[in-house]
Structure 1
Amino acid sequence: MGNIIVSENVSLDGVIQDPTGEDGLGRGSWFTCIGDKDREAWAKVELEEAMGAEALLLGRRSYAYFLARGWASRSGEWADRLRSLPKYVVTSSALEGPGWGNATVLKGDVVKEVAKLKRQVDGDIVVYGSGRLVHTLTQHDLVDEWRLMTYPIVVGAGERLFGETSGVKPMRLIDTHTVGDGLAFLTYRPVRDA
């Protein structure tokens, strides 16, 4: 059985939108506010996570984001690992242009398709970015773990990690540690009825 792992870069006030300033929100570039030591430590955590993953689950826009930034042709251990992983992309249309490799489009009812994917993949299915998809997965209790790389900045506006839900979603903090000098890496799991 697969585990859906939401892995996000997030500001102190929960913003996940436009961390690099490329989306035109006007409040971006908070991802680049960290120093070299923090960036190196962040990259190490990300590589370790990728090495432990069995698949990626992405929304169409996040898949396109990775492609536009050259991840399909980058070199290095991290890029090689992401390229080799099966990628499942939630979209209502076909993927356009050259792809990232090992990509499968999940069409139809997102909740049913992801539940089916969890039954098919044994291990961690990591979700990067994909804000709208994460909201849907959270609403339908499909997320097994949230890994939040928290940046020491308040953005003040933008799409947040958690949107409105139909009810309270209790979580349990299972791990926390400092990454570099200024990032907090928080890991939560849902508290489910026994």
Structure 2
Amino acid sequence: MRKVTAGLFHSVDGVVQDPFKFQFDSFDEDLGKGLTKMINTVDTVVLGRVSYQEWASYWPNATQDDEFAAFINPVEKFVASRTLSEPLEWNNSQLIKGDVEQFVTGLKNRDGGEIAVCGSISLVRQLLFAGILDELTLMTHPVIAGTGRRLFADGDPLNRLLLKDQYATSQGNVVSTYSLRED
């Protein structure tokens, strides 16, 4: 069975929205190595509508970060949206038809490498709380963002997590990978 993962850049106060606003001075070589490791294991990406639209307008013509562009542009991409229609303009992108949780569970049962949920805060939450997301990696930057959307909110269901891996980078980022604890 394929593994479904998600990785989000994260501030100390829990903000995951628009990480480019707070990560610019702490993104280091160690984080880059972690992203390269992800690129080498993932062959399918799942995106929500907002992330798809933001990324589809940037990555096909990106002049920076060639390694990620070389990965994200040709990779198979599935998009969760109730408002977009096909054909989607970004290379190798198609809409998820039907229930998102059933679709991603079906992807897990196909042959292939890892499935990464990229960006897509709502989708990460949905798949985590449904027990479909196998690993959540939070890359916590040494900054208090102050404002922005957080991954978790008051009223979220209780979920116990298991810390699978953790390390600090040279610029003080803490990379923590969790899975749902089974008990």
Task: State whether TM-score is above 0.5.
Answer: yes
TM-score w.r.t. length of structure 2: 0.87
Tell me which stretches of 4 or more aligned residues in structure 1 moved more than 4 Å: none
Q: Percent identity, aligned pairs only?
A: 29
Equivalent position of 2:142 in the other structure: 152
Task: Output one character per residue of 1:14-47: Cα deviation in whole Å (capped at 9) or x when no partner.
Answer: 1111222xxxxxxxx112232xxx4333223212
CA distance in 2, matches of 1:96, 1:165: 37
Equivalent AA in structure 2 for residue 43 of structure 1: G
Correspondences of 1:12-27 after superposition (within 5 Å)? 12-20=12-20
Correspondences of 1:27-42 after superposition (within 5 Å)? 29-34=21-26, 38-42=27-31
Match of 1:114 among 91, 104, 108: 104
Equivalent position of 1:6 in the other structure: 6
CA distance in 2, matches of 1:77, 1:153: 26
CA distance in 2, matches of 1:165, 1:58: 24
Question: How far did residue 165 of structure 1 move?
Answer: 6.0
Task: Output one character per residue of 1:129-183: Cα deviation in whole Å (capped at 9) or x when no partner.
Answer: 1011112112211110011111111223321112456631111111111223221
Equivalent position of 1:94 in the other structure: 85
CA distance in 2, matches of 1:97, 1:123: 23
The answer on 1:72 being equivalent to 2:60 is yes
The answer on 1:58 being equivalent to 2:47 is yes
Are the aligned partners of 1:42 and 1:180 in contact in 2 as well (CA < 8 Å)?
Answer: no
Equivalent position of 2:159 in the other structure: 169
Question: How far did residue 13 of structure 1 move?
Answer: 1.7
Equivalent AA in structure 2 for residue 14 of structure 1: G
RMSD: 2.1
Equivalent position of 2:133 in the other structure: 143
Question: How far did residue 85 of structure 1 move?
Answer: 1.6
Are the aligned partners of 2:141 and 2:172 in contact in 1 as well (CA < 8 Å)?
Answer: yes
CA distance in 1, matches of 2:87, 2:125: 25
CA distance in 1, matches of 2:145, 2:166: 22
> Residues 174 and 97 (structure 1 numbering): CA distance in 2 closer, same or farther, change over 3 Å?
closer
